[in-house]
Structure 1
Amino acid sequence: MSKMSTERTRIALNGPTMGTRWSALFFAGSGFDPAPVRAELQEAVDEVDAQMSTWKPDSDLMQLNAAPVGKWLAVPEQMAAVLRLGLEVGRASGGAFDIGMGDAVTAWGFGPDPAGSDRIRAAMARPRRHAHEVLEIVGPLVRKSAPLVLDLNGIAKGYGVDRLAETLQAHGIHDALLGIDGEMRALGLRPGGQPWTIAVETPDPERRAPHSILALQDAAVATSGDYRHWVELHGHRLSHTMNPRRGAPLASSPASVSVVAGNCAEADAWATGLMVLGPDKGAELAKKHRLNVLFLIRDEAHDTRSMSVGPLFGEELEKGPGIGALRGLGQATVD
């Protein structure tokens, strides 16, 4: 066999989705045509967006939001699976992750419309029941037993990454790095047998720089933070993460929370829930559920320290400056 026939070419594909871009990186033999794969990857994330977007008035999610209380509505299988996972993480997190925050998200200006004072007051005054207490799912059928406005922004991008992974695997590609807006999933290994390296960003809105490096194989990582997505209201910068108890953005939180899990939708949901809980209660819950979590915590002097939990990070540890190599699903280097 000639050398030419065994050479592998680096393939980097990307496209628009959910207000940002998806990416796929893998290696293929010479003569590989990436066009059909790119088309199917785009179709996969377009399908997720069409079902779960709050920015598309005709999405399946918005139709469910508009459905009367008590009415069963058939939803696509993919969306039903995401709703089930959202409710599962909601129960496990004690409601810290709640897919029923759509009214608050919209009121505070994190949806298609700007923030509105009347809507903010209504969102904060509304007696709240968690989505896992209100939403019923039987197969593809869903109904609300009480008024509820769903928002899947804390899980849909992660699920979109998982759909990218499934699409590549259907093409026989089992080694790849996939992402949407920083939510990443590693399939297999790089050529040469090395894990894929993924940076956890320094929580600084003014610059992009790596804080930590994860080297992962067959695992996903999602990060929730206070430094990329926000709105300014009356001169105050408000993070996009909602406190389900208040119907308002978090008043205080870690700078970021990164969760490593087997799939990206689960990592995405847990990152949001642990952001809400904060490092103390969040770390306790993460240990209970054997989650792999990296908290980045900003002090009053705007210095950042890290606290990590889980088998990947050697159970639980707290680190200031320095470097540690930690093993589990892969390897993590925390600076």
Structure 2
Amino acid sequence: MSKTSIEWLPDSSLQRCRASGATMGTRWSAQFHVPPTRHLAAVVDQLGAAVGAVDAEMSNWRTDSDISRLNHAEPGQWVSVSANLAAVLTRAIAIGRETHNAFNIGVGALVCAWGFGPAGGEQDPPAETTSRPCLPIDAVLEVDARNCRARRHVAVSLDLCGIAKGFGVDELARVLDRHGIGSWLVGIDGEMRARGRKPDGAAWAIAIEAPSFECREAMSVIELGDGAIATSGDYRHWRDVNGERISHTMDPRSGTPLLNGIASATVVAPTCTDADAYATALMVLGLTDGLALARQQGLNVLLVGREGGSIRSSGTGCFDKMPGE
């Protein structure tokens, strides 16, 4: 069920619309400015339908989703998928190559084994002796985007949690672009994308969350124009295993949860799909290798690491002069 509020802006011919709704276990939101003649109900309905479609296509929590059908198909069997899913799988393979397997959507079995999948965290964690690196995703997954189909060459479990929300944000953006709306901010949880400026000329201000386990507070604020931002961190979803906090982010290179001292990775990119995936990859790579990749790829990145009881940040691109570097 979507929620919508509309308010007139003072001294303006525009009205501000705020809309939100449930999706992917969290909420989507949109704020945009339109003339009063716009059919707002149709716009809001299409926003909800867009993210609902992504959830139906890419959620491991739904047994009838496209990704679940692909995961349950026999290896070598082509499975018809949506054009959206074909595009996301194709981009996931490309980013997996660029990040040298740090981003790998074939971590589904690991995610479930450590209690972060649909079954929850009741089961015991796997023994260290059972941990093994994940095969590079381009070696186990083939996508025929032209014909909207995909197949796995081995029985790997695909998990899109590191990219699907970002794609959902891009879908919200596409709805507003189709309606010719030039000033908006959309998001799913902490993944955001913006277009244009507010009617008063101000940029969209996005708070970057501090990597705190105890409370939610802003560490800094960035102004976002035409672009997207995503943050991945160790402080949002974690389990206590034998007195140690275990992150929900898996390292596909070792087959274990992350324990590399990085607290969060924030990426600004043209699309939220890319920002989401690169943020996950940089968490895996850690501070040193993550910064090296960011500079090599020309990415706008803020990485925050833990050192004892303090944090240290380093950035590239638009984050190059962030405090704490």
| TM-score for both structures, normalised by structure 2 | 0.91
Query: Are positions 1:295 and 2:303 aligned together?
Result: yes
User: What amino acid maps onto 2:324 in structure 1?
Assistant: G
TM-superposed deviation, 1:238: 1.1
The CA distance in 1 between the partners of 2:67 and 2:128, in whole Å, is 22
CA-to-aligned-CA distance 1:33-63 (integer Å, 9 cap, x gap): 4222111111000100000000001110000
User: What amino acid maps onto 1:66 in structure 2?
Assistant: H
User: What amino acid maps onto 2:93 in structure 1?
Assistant: L
CA contact (8 A) 1:224 1:257 kept: yes
User: What amino acid maps onto 1:52 in structure 2?
Assistant: M
TM-superposed deviation, 1:194: 2.2
The CA distance in 1 between the partners of 2:261 and 2:19, in whole Å, is 35
The CA distance in 2 between the partners of 1:174 and 1:284, in whole Å, is 35
User: What amino acid maps onto 2:142 in structure 1?
Assistant: E
Match of 2:313 in 1: 306
TM-superposed deviation, 1:206: 1.5
TM-superposed deviation, 1:118: 7.0
Query: Are positions 1:172 and 2:176 aligned together?
Result: no
SS of 1:255 mapped into structure 2: strand
TM-superposed deviation, 1:212: 1.3
User: What amino acid maps onto 2:166 in structure 1?
Assistant: G
Q: How many residues are matched?
A: 315
Note closer, same or farther for the CA distance 1:39–1:124 as it changes in structure 2 (3 Å cut).
farther
TM-superposed deviation, 1:304: 2.0
TM-superposed deviation, 1:95: 0.3
From 110, 116, 138, the equivalent of 1:110 is: 116
Match of 1:333 in 2: none
Note closer, same or farther for the CA distance 1:183–1:114 as it changes in structure 2 (3 Å cut).
same
Sequence identity (%): 46
The CA distance in 2 between the partners of 1:107 and 1:235, in whole Å, is 18
Query: Are positions 1:192 and 2:200 aligned together?
Result: yes
Match of 1:92 in 2: 98
Q: Which runs of 5+ in 2 are unaligned?
A: 1-8
Query: Are positions 1:251 and 2:259 aligned together?
Result: yes
Q: Which runs of 5+ in 1 are unaligned?
A: 322-335
SS of 2:63 mapped into structure 1: coil
Provide runs of 4+ in structure 1 moved above 4 Å.
3-6, 116-119
CA contact (8 A) 1:155 1:265 kept: yes
Match of 1:279 in 2: 287
User: What amino acid maps onto 2:201 in structure 1?
Assistant: G
User: What amino acid maps onto 1:86 in structure 2?
Assistant: A
Note closer, same or farther for the CA distance 1:178–1:124 as it changes in structure 2 (3 Å cut).
farther
From 311, 315, 324, the equivalent of 1:320 is: 324
Higher mean alpha-carbon deviation, 82-91 vs 125-134, is at 125-134
| TM-score for both structures, normalised by structure 1 | 0.89
The CA distance in 2 between the partners of 1:122 and 1:45, in whole Å, is 38
Note closer, same or farther for the CA distance 1:76–1:260 as it changes in structure 2 (3 Å cut).
same
The CA distance in 2 between the partners of 1:117 and 1:14, in whole Å, is 34
CA contact (8 A) 1:196 1:215 kept: yes
Query: Are positions 1:40 and 2:46 aligned together?
Result: yes
The CA distance in 2 between the partners of 1:197 and 1:230, in whole Å, is 28
**RMSD over equivalenced CA pairs, Å:** 2.1
Match of 2:155 in 1: 147
TM-superposed deviation, 1:131: 1.2
Match of 1:332 in 2: none
Match of 1:20 in 2: 26
Match of 2:191 in 1: 183
